[in-house]
Amino acid sequence: MGTYEDCNIYSEKVNLGEGYVGTTTKWAEVTKHHLEDLWAIAKHEDYSSEELEAVDELPEDWYPDVEI
């Protein structure tokens, strides 16, 4: 988790490192917390980032509650 910019920098780092072309053009989508200015992206097992906080799961309040 981190800033929008840091998540996109990480995504580009993975994209360049993996050389995605064709049907796979990017590593993962950057996702925003529904209330706060927090952003997240899936971690690639071969790439790290000093700027992003690694978490096993997004916090429970990441997405808004949806009533069914």
pLDDT tens string 13-57:
999 999 988 888 889 999 999 999 999 999 999 999 999 999 999
pTM for the full predicted model: 0.86
Predicted pLDDT of residue 48: 95
Structure tokens at 6: 């840091």
Q: Which long-range contacts (CB under 8 A, 24 or more apart) does 12-16 make?
A: 13/47, 13/49, 14/44, 14/47
Domain ranges for the chain, please list them: 4-40
Predicted pLDDT of residue 68: 81
pLDDT bin (cut points 50, 70, 90) of residue 65 is: confident
